[in-house]
Every structure is written in structure tokens, then in C-alpha cells.
Amino acid sequence: MARRFDEDLDLASERPDAERDGGRGAANDFPDADRSADRDRGDDLDGPDPDLSFGAKPVRVPLAVAFVAAVAGCFFAGTSTADFVAHLDRQVHALHCSVVPGAKAQIGESGCRAVMLSPYSSWFRESYWGGIPVALWALAVFAFLAYRLGHLTWRGQPRRSEAGFLVAATLLPVLMSGIYGYLAYAQVGAICTVCAGIYVTSGLTFLGSLAALLMIERSPTPDVHAVRRFGVGVAEGCGFVFALSLVYLAWLPDAGGERGPAGCGALVQPEDEAGIMVDVARVPGGKPTIEVLDPLCPACRAFDARLTASGLDVKLDQRAVLFPLDSSCNWMVTDSLHPGACAVSEAMLCASPAQAKVILGWAFANQEALLAEAKADEPKLRARLKSQFPEVAGCLGTPVAKNKVVKSLRWAVANALPVMTPQLFVDGTRLCDEDTDLGLDYTLTRMLQGGAR
């Protein structure tokens, strides 16, 4: 037995290495071929490539460009989100309306402020004061893309399916940039500089990802794990958005308190004994509302647009009291903030209810031109009103018309109203000034539900 065992050992020692290793020796002699086969099956390693140079792995170049663009997108979206969050205390703050890091914030009117106060800057405004800003979700998406791009750039050997997922993922910010760019230009009439930075970085992340995809050769065998990886990527991206939204909602300040839905004062004499109120949008069965406005007031026009975009206007039976901030007829202002407002107010008070609404819409649509014309030559503006609306030609400028404007101003005095426009009274209760923009949907919804009582 001992001699037989020794003979077997001798035979084993004489066999070729390949046979003794079960045929694995040939594969071990060609590790690159073995690695290529793993890649073809979609089983490539997830670790970094030993050669980290950009020259050896040129696909890193477009991936790195896309990564830098995604980081820049995080900066722009983060800046926009921070400005939005600062206004959640219901006060007015300066905005960073520049793509240059460290640039000084601006307190005055700007394209960024117009876009932020527009109804398109956030979602779920009826549920949360101000809503959830779109910029917050943009920040989450860019953070996810930066994480994915950074990982693949470091690894240096992305699969084609991974690059394909990046192309699909970067299409989302590109699509949203197109939509919100159109809304800013066509609906808001202003372009936000920081938002423009988001649009540009969205395009760069897409182009970088697409270039990486085109540089990766197709595998002769299908990637059996491509669908699973795509699903994991979608889940990760949604996780970024969901997590950041939860953090935002957890830190959202309380919109209740003494103000808000409880309103900021009430009318003392809401009756229209002098017959000076103008029909804006009468809705039978709607909540009675009175808006104090100036037909040449840009803030009034913007408020009207926000109210219409909110969809809550259909629940309001709207009437208006004209309060022109023009010193030619209003003794409560020393300078004409809106020259020509007295003339347009006279025309509205001279017209029939239906025609008055038409004149208001015309004034809102042509505010800049009318203000400039009245500042240069008010008689010319009055002549234009008579030509545009012949119905009021015989009344405009007469003592009767001027007296109606005076009665409208006295109505404001009798109710001790501040010298400002716009002001909205819902069933006699005044909507707080800080709730006329970001908090409009949230506060007005609750006032209509009885919160103002």
C-alpha cells in the first residue's frame, strides 16, 4: 500500500501544470483576457483602474468635465435655495443674483427676485408657506449626479450601461431647464442670472455624459445587470431628492402665530356708499374680496398674476377700490410714484363695469409705456385714453371724474389704510403684506376656509 501511494505521488508530480490545475493554468497566463471576459458578462470589478492617468483612460476627460459642471450646478442651486429659505421669515432680504462666487447680494428689484416671487419657483404652496422650492430639488439632483460622476471618474472604467444611465439622468435637469427657462421668459418676463447658471451646467453635464457614452465601445455580449443597475440608480436619485425634502420640511418655520391666516386688521367701513368700487372679477357665491390697487402699480400687476396663477381667484368675488399713488390727485403722496395713475383711474371710474375691467387689463399690459408717457406728457396720455376708449372721452378730466377719484381716496382714509398698494381684504379681513407673494397660496387658502375669523 505504501509503495502504491508513493507511485501515485510520482505520477502526479509528472503531470503538466495545466492538467494538475484543472485547466486553469492557461487562463492564469492571460489575466487581461479573463478580465475582458468578466467585462463582457457585466461582472467587471467596481474598484479603480490601476492606471489613473487621463491619457491612458481618455473617457475620464468628459466625465471630469461633467463632474465639475455638476458641482457648479450644486453651487448655483444651493445659492438659489439659500435665498429662498432666507425669505421664510416673511421679511425682505437681499438676493445673490450673480454667477460669480462671493458677489454682493442685491436688495432691490432684479430678475432673480421676480422669478423667486413668481408662482413657478416652488411647489405645494397651499400645504406649506412658500412651498418647496424647485431649486432644492435641483440641488439634490446635481448632488446625485456629482456623486455618480465623481465615482466613475475615479474608477476610470465605466460600463456602457452606467454611462447610458448618466445620459438619461442628466436629461432631467436639461428638460427642466428648458421648461423653467421658457416660463421665466414668457410668463414672468425676467431671467434669473443664477437660474441661467443652472441651465448652462445642466447642458454641460449632459454633454459630458453623452461624450463618455460615445467613447465606450460596445461589448460583444449583453450586460446582464444593466437593468438592475439602472433601477438602483433611479432609486438612489429619488433617495437624494426625498432625503433633502425631508430635511427642508423638518426645518420649515411655523407659519402660524398671531398673523398669517388670522389677517392683519379689518375694514372699519367696508360699505360702498359712494359707488366707487370697480368690478374686477365677480364670482357668484365667491368670498367677497376688496383689492386696493393702483392701475399703474407694477406690484399690483404682479400680485394679480400670482393670484391668477394660484387658481384661487375663481373662489373670490373680486371688487377693487382705486388708490392711485400719483400726487396730481392723491394728497397723501408728495411725489408721483406712478405718474398717470390718476388719469387711468378716472377713465375706469367713468366707464361701465365691463369696460372698467378692460381698461384695467389694458393698463396692466402697457404699464411701462404708460408710465413713461405720463412722466413726459400727461395730457398726451389722456388723449390716448380718449382715443383708446371713446366711451369715457366725454367724462375723462371733468369735475365728476375727479370727484369720483377723491371719493375713492376718502374711502381708504375712512378705513385708516396705509398708503400702499396692493392691499387685499378677504371678507373684510386684510391679507398681511408678507403673505402677498411667497405665502399667498398657503395663507389665502386658510382664510377662505375660515382662518381669518
pLDDT-derived band at 30 (thresholds 50, 70, 90) equals: very low
Residues in the chain, total: 453
Give the integer Cα–Cα distance in Å for 448 and 453: 10
For residue range 386-426, what is the model confidence (pLDDT) as tens digits? 999 999 999 999 999 999 999 999 999 999 999 999 999 99
pLDDT for position 410: 96
End-to-end CA distance of the chain: 106
Cell numbers given for 170 = 442628466
Cell numbers given for 250 = 423638518
**Please, what are the domains in the chain?**
60-250 (1.20.1440.130), 260-451 (3.40.30.10)
**Which 3 state secondary structure label does DSSP give 23?**
coil
pLDDT for position 1: 45
CB 426 within 8 A of CB 448: yes
Please provide residue 73's backbone torsions phi and psi, each rounded to the nearest 5 degrees: -60, -40
For residue range 100-143, what is the model confidence (pLDDT) as tens digits? 776 777 776 788 888 998 889 999 999 999 999 999 999 999 99
Q: Which residues pair with 316 in a beta bridge?
A: 287
Mean pLDDT of 234-248: 96
CB 364 within 8 A of CB 304: yes
Torsion sign across C-alpha atoms 153, 158, 161, 164: positive
CB 296 within 8 A of CB 333: no
Cβ count within 10 A of residue 346 = 26
Q: Which position has the grid cell 432673480?
A: 112
* DSSP state for residue 188 in the 8-state scheme: I
Q: Which residues pair with 317 in a beta bridge?
A: 288
Torsion sign across C-alpha atoms 444, 446, 452, 453: positive
* DSSP state for residue 453 in the 8-state scheme: -
**Those residues with Cβ within 8 angstroms of residue 224's Cβ, 6 or more apart along the chain or in another chain:** 41, 42
pTM of the model: 0.76
- Percent of the chain clearing pLDDT 90 (strictly above): 64
Q: Which position has the grid cell 421668459?
A: 185
Give the integer Cα–Cα distance in Å for 178 and 427: 41
pLDDT for position 2: 44
The closest of 301, 289, 383 to 338, measured between CA atoms, is 301
pLDDT-derived band at 73 (thresholds 50, 70, 90) equals: very high
Cis? peptide before 422, omega within 30° of 0: yes
**Those residues with Cβ within 8 angstroms of residue 399's Cβ, 6 or more apart along the chain or in another chain:** none
- Res. 23: pLDDT tops 70: no
Give the integer Cα–Cα distance in Å for 323 and 330: 8
Give the integer Cα–Cα distance in Å for 227 and 233: 10
| Of 57 and 117, the one with more pLDDT | 117
Give the integer Cα–Cα distance in Å for 212 and 199: 20
For 195-225, the three-class secondary structure string (H helix, E strand, C coil) is HHHHHHHHHHHHHHHHHHHHHCCCCCCCCCC
- Res. 164: pLDDT tops 70: yes
For residue range 366-385, what is the model confidence (pLDDT) as tens digits? 999 999 999 999 999 999 99
CB 168 within 8 A of CB 206: no
Give Dmax over CA atoms of the chain in angstroms. Answer: 136
- Res. 10: pLDDT tops 50: no
CB 154 within 8 A of CB 48: yes
CA 259 to chain centre: 26
CB 172 within 8 A of CB 202: no
Residue spans of beta strands (DSSP E) within 272-415: 278-281, 287-293, 316-322
The amino acid at residue 157 is Q
Alpha helices in 216-352 (DSSP H): 226-250, 298-310, 341-350
Give the integer Cα–Cα distance in Å for 358 and 361: 5
